[in-house]
Amino acid sequence: LKITAYADRLIDDLETVNYREDIKAQQINWIGRSAGAQIKFKILNHKSEITVFTTRPDTLYGVTFLVISPETAKGLLDRMPDGEKAVVEDYIANSLKKSELQRQEEVKEKTGVFTGLYAEHPLTREKLPIWVADFVLSGYGTGAVMAVPAHDQRDFEFAKKHDLPLKEVIKNEKESKFPKEAFEREGTLINSAQFDGLQSKEAIDKITQFLEQKKIGEKALDYKLRDWVFSRQHYWGEPIPIIFCRHCWELKSEKEKVGAREGYDFSKIDGKEYAIVTVPGEDLPVELPYVENYKPTETGESPLAEIKEWVEVHCPICNSQARRETDTMPNWAGSSWYFLRYIDPHNRKQFAESRKLKYWMPVDWYNGGMEHTTLHLLYSRFWYKVMSDLGLVPTKEPYARRTSHGVVLGPDGQKMSKSRGNVVNPDEIVAEFGADTFRVYEAFMGPFDQMIIWDPKGVLGVRRFLDKVWKSHEKVRSQESRASSKELERKLHQLIKKVEEDTMALKFNTAVAEMMKFVNELATGDWKLATGDWKLFLRVLAPYAPYLSEELWHGLGEKDSIHRQSWPKYDPKLIVEEKVTVVVQVDGKMRGKLELPAGTSEAAVTELAANLESVKTHLHGRKVAKTVFIPDNLINFVIF
């Protein structure tokens, strides 16, 4: 699937959604958009050319050789001298046995061989040897790089190993360590003809413009992102609704055959061309047949290939004998858009009615693991954008907000695994301490988006907290008070506000800490709490400890479930502290404190602060230039 066609939109549209910045950064880095230039190098004694992409056109005059990927070299074998051709063929064969990951991991070895071919430098006309090396990947850039060993460390090491020349074209007296190592940063151009003396940023634009004038290069964008290899050779997965028809291919004119694109218009099977025909809408979905054996075949084909009665079908266009595609879609196919079905699950005509899609989409909030940031999140955004272009969904982005959770590590600080013997069994925790203890501890153990070590002592601490809630409940019932202590009522409404804000911000640990603080106050203080106010606390506790709060709720005579109640509202008047501590400073240094009623005016605070003995000492015989006042917080006398 051509996900690269959506690369710019996948980056640019991140500005329209509320994702955490690190999630945005991972997506942007994975797509890897780079601005630079494509430059053409003619192959000497041949009519063809090699195109390279570079983000540093300012180093063009420092190119001393080219390096091409083994895949690119394969297409140039017939032009290589016999002496080098055999060596290159052997090198290509060995390189292609490695995965791209292995080829990137082994870059330190800097292996490569000379092809016997030369290219012409587009500006200096110098003769540049063309090498092949497996660290150059055909899927990145153009499958060829212009080597600038004086200003690229990888090229520097390759040149040193193979005794290739270095040419310095960027100067920076303060930072450069050339020729001991490559200087990769920007600087002033030297040895670069009419561009000498320019700074790198300006030179990049000037040289690119010059290349465009000469028609030997142009401004370009490149991406790390590669198109999505979509087919899988296994049974599990949605069948790809494609039929291959030999007869439809034979019916095409020679002109049509010449213009046909492999993979789009036709596919080769056993050396013969077959027209690609899509399964008609009335025959969708194509369903998987029942199989007794779904193991991979010895031929590497999907197990579906062995089910003759399923594979062999009539072509929907010409009615000739044809065959189905036997590869299936990857798991990402269904997971990229399954959530849309929740909107209209019983619709037999379409995946969802447009009116319902407009009402519900985009998804308000998607929370998932960080491991899905460059997989499911990226793929589903791409899939949704294709659907948006087809007019099937009403918005450009599927998710309005994206957050992620952390990982709970074992008690030893390692990732939980059976082999390490550090797996915490939730059932055992629930059996010993109760489900609420387990739930509240997970909320309390640390920041939601961080890696946190499981601590058995922390579980005990949470259980003690819930025991205190039960004891406080018994005290409230025995008091049968109709009014709460004024200070306790204030603390309760401050609690409601804080827990609400922290919960919405996924700061569950601090929300639990605030509840613990309130319950500790109940356990130690001489107080009265009205039954109605205690019910407010239970409603705050309910999402965190659902079973205990439900039990206590019904113990107060309530018939309906606590989980059917609305979230309590705090009284803005009651969350304001009656007394505040105002810090008094002279020239930014603390010289005292004042305990005052909240909302005390600046004039009153200034007078009281100026009369503090510790302040008088530092103001004696000096003039105050200005006074900085922060209500209910600070006053600072700034002196001449």
Cis peptide before 285 (omega within 30 of 0): yes
User: pLDDT value at position 106?
Assistant: 53
User: pLDDT value at position 180?
Assistant: 86
* Residue that wins the pLDDT comparison between 363 and 524: 363
- Per-residue pLDDT tens digits for 597-616: 888 999 999 999 999 999 99
> Of the ranges 43-57, 97-111, 161-175, 561-575, which one carries the lowest mean pLDDT score?
97-111
- Give the start-end residues of each E strand in 223-271: 242-245, 266-269
* Residue that wins the pLDDT comparison between 313 and 101: 313
User: pLDDT value at position 231?
Assistant: 85
With 0-12 CB in 10 A as exposed, 13-18 as middle and 19+ as buried, what is 208?
Answer: buried
Domains 426-564 and 579-639 share a fold: no
| Whether CATH 1.10.730.10 fits 426-564 | yes
Distance CA 569, CA 109 (A): 66
CATH of 579-639, one of 3.55.50.30, 3.20.20.370, 3.30.499.10, 3.10.20.590: 3.10.20.590
Residue 236 carries which side chain, given as an amino acid letter? W
**Can you say how many angstroms the Cα of residue 557 is from the centroid of all Cα atoms in its chain?**
49
Distance CA 262, CA 260 (A): 7
Two tokens at 93? 């064969």
User: pLDDT value at position 230?
Assistant: 83
> Of the ranges 208-217, 228-237, 262-271, 496-505, which one carries the lowest mean pLDDT score?
228-237
Q: What is the CATH code for 34-222?
A: 3.90.740.10
Verdict on whether the full-model pTM lies above 0.85: no
The residues spanned by each domain of the chain are: 34-222, 242-329, 426-564, 579-639
> Of the ranges 21-30, 106-115, 482-491, which one carries the lowest mean pLDDT score?
106-115
Say if residue 446's pLDDT is above 90: yes
> pLDDT confidence of 301, banded at 50, 70, 90?
confident
The whole-number average pLDDT for the span 548-574 is 96
Mean pLDDT score of the chain: 93
> pLDDT confidence of 482, banded at 50, 70, 90?
confident
User: pLDDT value at position 108?
Assistant: 60
User: pLDDT value at position 319?
Assistant: 96
526 contacts: CB under 8 Å, gap ≥ 6: none
Q: Whose CA is closest to 563, among 549, 576, 577, 578?
A: 549
Distance CA 342, CA 25 (A): 30
CA atoms within 13 A on the CB side of 531: 14
In this structure, the strands spanning 401-405 and 18-19 are: parallel
